[in-house]
Structure 1
Amino acid sequence: MQDIAALIQQPEAWIALATLMVMEIVLGIDNLLFISILSNKLPEGQRERARKIGIGLALILRLALLATVAWIVQLTQPVATILGNEFSWKDIILIAGGLFLVWKATKEIHHHVDPSDHEDTMVGAASVTFGGVIAQILMLDLVFSIDSIITAVGMTPHVEIMVVAVVTAVAVMLLAANPLATFIGQNPTIVILALSFLLLIGTTLIAEGFGVDVPKGYIYAAMAFSALVEGLNMWARNARLRRENAAR
């Protein structure tokens, strides 16, 4: 690894760090949404602990993967060919994670639309366990971590910069976890919107696993626009409620 004192004197290193930090924080939103929605299904006393463990696992996985950068790069090498299409371990992991995310988001949406139809399934409140939630968070942490680190490797060759960017992104996730989870839990329409985002992210992961290049900017622009529209809807509902209360 290059000497840190020499590295901090290079302007391009600071530019790479700033760019990578922003990218890691944006990519961390996907992970944080999943953690927030799953942790909100636990009893209130266990939710914050589940979020901290989930985010802590994300940090451990990312740092562990950074320690094996040479191996991570090899994950992009083709290992199988199916119907003329080559697949690497990264592709296989993205497809598996995407399928899980699509399945989970679909089940959760169905549960929120018709809770009585799912009382005996794994998404029913009675069957949710702390260990089960952590296991699901760990699985998606792995998928998001591999995608995040491979993207980071493509942006800079300096592991020191990657470490700082990853730790910063996880710190932001930790700070935002409780406020985001509380906001999602207090606004039912936000839950459906967040689950729709996860459904979109899962579909994107599957597409990328099959070699389809989906520009992340389009995905996050669509998510930002949807969040803006929902914010306007919430503002309009609150304004209407204030008028109704004032008229009584």
Structure 2
Amino acid sequence: MQDIVPLLSDPSAWIALVTLIVMEVVLGIDNLIFISILTNKLPAHQREKARRIGIGLALVMRLALLGTVAWIVQLTTPVFTLFDHPFSWKDMILIAGGLFLVWKATREIHHNVDPVDHKEDMVGGPVVQSFAAAIGQILLLDLVFSVDSIITAVGMTPHLPIMVVAVVVAVTVMLLAATPLANFIEKNPTIVMLALAFLLMIGMTLIAEGMGFHVPKGYIYAAMTFSALVEALNMLARRKRQKDRAAGH
């Protein structure tokens, strides 16, 4: 409590808090897209529960990792060197998470392109998926995104209370946005392919980061925003054509 009171009257602490909240929310978009696509594969009555559990686990995991900040920072220490490049535990976690995202997104894209071939789809068809399997996959990606999120937070501020508040606010925003985003994706099939392309790009970015090639996040989110705006224009154009056809009849 003694550490918190001085922060309340420190303008720089408030600036750091707002900046970190924005950063955490932006980083959470990746996680939210994955959760939305994955839970939409579940039966309708299980989707909301799966989203809440998945996002709740993300909060628990990030708060737990904040309690071990000293250990988290050590994850950036090189463990071995390969081809003259030092690899840390963080790098290996990012590479593993990136490979999983690329594999998952590729499988889902294959299913959307060839929905008849259900045997090739890891989730076993258009809706049928084990609830436990969905939570397991969400938990795996929660770990990857949580490690990245906490290391980013540690790099932006040394104050643990600010990190905790930023994480709680960001995860709360994710919780509020999860269902509307999932419903929007489900109602607009073309958005699914766009979201899967985002996951594929994010997966490749994680692999590149793990290999030591820094990719500015601004470029990634600028590309995602531009693509989303183009798709929004396409949706408006399709709706206008539908209305014109309906009026013509």
Mapped contact 2:107–2:120 kept (Cα < 8 A): no
Matches within 5 A, 1:161-240: 161-240=162-241
Amino acid at match of 1:60: V
| Runs of 4+ more than 4 Å apart | none
CA distance in 2, matches of 1:213, 1:2: 38
**Gap runs ≥5 in structure 2:** none
Q: Shift in Å at residue 120 of structure 1?
A: 5.7
Mapped contact 2:111–2:120 kept (Cα < 8 A): no
CA distance in 2, matches of 1:102, 1:155: 29
Other-structure match for 2:246: 245
Amino acid at match of 2:35: I
Label 1:111 to 1:121 Cα distance change in 2 as closer, same or farther (>3 A): closer
CA distance in 1, matches of 2:83, 2:241: 57
Other-structure match for 1:102: 102
CA deviation string 1:146-200 (max 9, x = no partner): 0000000000000100000000000000000000000000111000000000000
Q: Secondary structure at the match of 1:214?
A: coil
Mapped contact 2:97–2:206 kept (Cα < 8 A): yes
Amino acid at match of 1:205: L
Other-structure match for 2:50: 50
Query: For the aligned residues, what is the CA RMSD?
Result: 1.1
Q: Shift in Å at residue 127 of structure 1?
A: 5.4
Amino acid at match of 1:185: E
Q: Secondary structure at the match of 1:115?
A: coil
Mapped contact 2:39–2:51 kept (Cα < 8 A): yes
CA distance in 2, matches of 1:194, 1:40: 13
Q: Shift in Å at residue 83 of structure 1?
A: 1.7
CA deviation string 1:111-135 (max 9, x = no partner): 0110112336423227510000000
Other-structure match for 1:77: 77
My pick for the range that moved more, 55-64 or 122-131, is 122-131
Mapped contact 1:2–1:158 kept (Cα < 8 A): no
Mapped contact 1:79–1:89 kept (Cα < 8 A): yes
Mapped contact 2:79–2:88 kept (Cα < 8 A): yes
Mapped contact 1:121–1:127 kept (Cα < 8 A): no
My pick for the range that moved more, 24-33 or 116-125, is 116-125
Amino acid at match of 2:44: E
Aligned length, in residue pairs: 248
Aligned-pair identity in percent equals 72
CA distance in 1, matches of 2:203, 2:108: 14
CA distance in 2, matches of 1:89, 1:60: 21
My pick for the range that moved more, 55-64 or 77-86, is 77-86
CA distance in 1, matches of 2:159, 2:227: 36
Task: Give the TM-score, by structure 1 length.
Answer: 0.98
Q: Secondary structure at the match of 1:86?
A: strand
CA distance in 2, matches of 1:163, 1:130: 29
Other-structure match for 1:130: 131
Q: Verify: 1:160 aligned to 2:161, yes or no.
A: yes
Task: Give the TM-score, by structure 2 length.
Answer: 0.97
Q: Secondary structure at the match of 2:116?
A: helix
Mapped contact 2:42–2:128 kept (Cα < 8 A): no
My pick for the range that moved more, 223-232 or 75-84, is 75-84
Label 1:2 to 1:211 Cα distance change in 2 as closer, same or farther (>3 A): farther
